[in-house]
Amino acid sequence: MRVYLDNAATTPVDPEVLKEMYHIMENQFGNPSSIHSHGREVRTIVEKARRSVAALLHASPSEIFFTSGGTEADNTAIRCGIIDNKLSHAITSRIEHHAVVHTLEAMEKSGQIKLSFVDVDGKGNVDLAHLENLLKDNERSFVSLMHANNELGTLTDIVKVGNLCEQYEAVFHCDTVQTMGHYPHNVKELKANFIVCAAHKLHGPKGVGFLYVSSRTKINPMIFGGSQERNMRGGTENVYGIAGLAKALETAYTEMGEHQQHIQQLKSYMMARLLENIPGIHFNGETEPEKSLYTVLNVSFPEMEMADMLLFSLDIAGISASGGSACSSGTNIGSHVLNGIGANPDRPAVRFSFSKYNTRGEIDYVVAKLKEILAGK
C-alpha cells in the first residue's frame, strides 16, 4: 500500500485541472503577446483566468499578477514592497517560510533594513501585543506574517494583524500559500497589501502562482524584460499553468465546505488513533479546529534510537510524509519552525498533511505501521 500524506509540500493535480491544461496544450499554442489571432486567443485564456481568480478573492483583475509560484511572489512583495515604499524597518517571525525569512535576512545583511522578530508562543501563535509595540516603537514598517504555518498548521488572525498594520500605516504582506483554496479570502475585508498563491498546494500544477497587490500599493517590477503582466513581470506567461491555477482555485472554492469537513474528520481521526496506539506523543502547534489549518498535523514521537530514520522507515513502508517544511528536506539542521517554538530536539517530529483524496483506511494503515516501527519490529 502507498499512502501520500505530504500534501503541504505538494498536492496531486486534480483530473479536471489536467483536462483544462491538456486542451490548451493541444489546441492553443500562440504567444499571448502576439497581436495576430493565434496570440489573441491565448491572451483571452490568460485574462479569463485573471478575472476568475480576482472574482474569487473579491479583487480587481488589475490587482492579480501571475508568477512562477509562492517563492517568487513572496520575494517580489518583500523586496519591492520595502524598496519602492522607502521603508527601512521590517517585522516578521522566526517561524515564517524560508522564502520570507531568508529574503528579509538578506536585506538586513546588505544594510537595506533593520529586521525585528515578533514573539511567538510554544504553539506558534503570534504575540499581537508585541507586534503592536514593534509597530509603535519603530518607523513605518513592513510586516510579513503568514496565515497558517506550513509546518505546524497554527493559524494567525490576519484580520487583526491587518487592522494593526492599517492603524500604524504599515505595509502588510501575508503568505497565504498554505490556506489559498482551503479558506475563502476576501481582500476587501483583509487589510493586506500583498497575498500570494502557489497552484501546486491546491491540486494545481507546479511552477505557477500569483501575487495580489492591492490597488493602494504601488511597486515596480522585480523581473524586467517584456511588457507582460501589465509591465510588472517580464517573460512569456506560463499559459497552461495559469489556466490550471484558475481551474484549481475555482474547483477548490466550489468544493471547499465538503472537503474541509472530510479532511478535518481525517485529521481528528488520526489524532485519536495516535493517542490510542502510541503513548507519549505530542502534537505541535494548535490543534483546535478553529485555530489550526485542517490539512496539517505535526506530531512529536517519543525519543528513540536512530530518530533520524523514522521518515526513512515510513518511506520503506510506502508512506510519504515530511519532517518539516519540504524546502528543508535533505538538510541536517532540523526544522527552524520547531526550533522557533522550543520543541524538544531529541524527539523525532513528522508532519502529516492531508488532501481530499485521503481515506480513513490510509490513516489506519499509517498508524499501524508507526506502531510497528516504534516497537522496533
Give the residue numbers marked as catalytic.
Answer: 327
CA Rg, the chain, in Å?
21
* CA distances (Å), origin 220, targets 74, 84, 187, 224, 231: 14, 7, 21, 10, 9
DSSP-assigned letter for residue 325: -
CB atoms within 10 A of CB 258: 10
Q: Cβ(39)–Cβ(178) under 8 Å? A: no
Strands 141-144 and 171-174: parallel
CA distance 62 to 55: 11
Q: What angle do CA 230, 80, 44 make, to 5 degrees?
A: 20
DSSP-assigned letter for residue 58: T
CA distance 244 to 121: 38
Q: What angle do CA 290, 296, 299 make, to 5 degrees?
A: 105
C-alpha cell at 106: 538578506
**b/e for 259-283, b at 16 or more Cβ within 10 A?**
bbebbbebbeebbebbeeebeebeb
Strands 349-353 and 296-300: antiparallel
CA distance 321 to 314: 8
* Residue in 239, 252, 229 with CA at minimum distance from that of residue 22: 239
